[in-house]
Amino acid sequence: MQLFLHYFLHFGAPFFIAYLFFKSDWKRVYLILLATMLVDLDHLIASPIFANDRCSINFHPLHTYWAMVVYVVLLFFKKPFRVIGIGLLFHMFTDTVDCMMTYASCKDCLAASPAIRLLETIGEFLGI
């Protein structure tokens, strides 16, 4: 279920965002939202490149809290920068949901994660 939700949020949800909020230009917006997944290229500098129990948030350079501040700033510009900001922030949201699902099923698996404080805070708020 976690894998399905993760990929639905990466590919399906951007379609709905584009179609519902950018009706006149939804195809172009959808492609821009998909292109923001290139932010995952920062995974290539990690060793190992993929780790099943690793939380991307605050681990990879383009997934840090500082990078997210830049993504928020993009929201204050006109298209296409606003759309890019939306896509990048939604990507971070998706990865956070994925981290939370891992955390909910195995708190010890992410104990050394750079985002553990965030996960604990969200977990307390959600009662996990």
- Is the pLDDT confidence value at 96 over 90? yes
pTM of the model: 0.93
Identify the pLDDT of residue 120: 95
* CA quadruple 77, 81, 82, 86: dihedral sign: negative
Mean pLDDT, range 14-38, rounded to an integer: 96
- Please, which pLDDT band fits residue 51 given cuts at 50, 70 and 90? confident
- Is the pLDDT confidence value at 49 over 90? no
- Please, which pLDDT band fits residue 47 given cuts at 50, 70 and 90? confident
Q: How many CB atoms lie within 10 A of CB 71?
A: 20
